[in-house]
Structure 1
Amino acid sequence: MSTRRQFLFTGATALAFAGLLPRFVAAESFEVAYSDAEWRKRLPPERYRILREEGTEMPYSSPLNDEHRAGTFACAGCGLPLFSSKTKFESGTGWPSFWQPLDNAVGTRTDSSYGMVRSEVHCRRCGGHLGHVFEDGPEPTGLRYCMNGLSLTFTPDAA
Structure 2
Amino acid sequence: WAKNIVHMQLPNGITLTVYRWGNYLDLRIQMKPLPGGQDGTCGNFNGMASDDTTQAIFERIGIRVGQGDMLFKDRAPIKFTEEMAEMLHTDCVADQLSTSREYCQKELPASASTIQVNSCLYDFCFGMNEHALRTAKTFATQAEREALGVE
Q: TM-score per shorter chain, which class? A: under 0.3
* TM-score where L is the length of structure 1: 0.23
- Higher RCO, 1 vs 2 (CA within 8 Å, ≥6 residues apart): 1
